[in-house]
Structure 1
């Protein structure tokens, strides 16, 4: 009689433990999914920034080429060409700076997601070992 009650109570405890474990796993995976989606959003934003920067760099190149063509035809003075060249150099520097910041943000988001996944895996292994021992 006592043995049957012990087995029944132990079964109830194990069922409760498994219920809590399933809930914890659902919560962990939903958090990991949220972090993954945030990292994807950061990567997409970085990609859009890179594309926009490339388009601006191409536009700067086209503007400079047009200025060189006009200067070759004697339309622009040397001073005006120097001003345009300086403006384009600043624009290219800003584009490089923006791309570097976007890449840095993306790498930071990826690193944070990887750390979170590694921590979750280590925690899951620890909990699995604890559960097996109990």
Structure 2
């Protein structure tokens, strides 16, 4: 499960401390969203099971509105970051997420981020308050 950071959330650029340098105790690894070449916010998940999850288990994108996903993601990112900073679930959560609820990321990005949380629940059993069993088919 230590490879979770590599399996989830690679917002095109992962702003983590390189592994070949010793980590400064004052710096926290953080995942920050960035725009792709087309100027759109994008989320790349580096895990083959995530694609399976999106295609076979997750509800389709058209089942959600962008405002619903933004509200859920705001809550879930806060919960995720609180787990990270408290050291809870260290075997799953290895970085914080830099997410600005005032930014217009777009439906596709919001959907993929939301499904990351559903995926973590599905794969690792990490129950987050902002998710319900109805979020997975």
Identify the structure with bigger relative contact order (alpha carbons < 8 Å, sequence gap 6+): 1
TM-score above 0.5, yes or no: no
Larger Rg: 1
Select the structure that is richer in strand: 2
Relative to its length, the structure with more helix (as a share) is 1
The TM-score bracket by the shorter chain reads: under 0.3
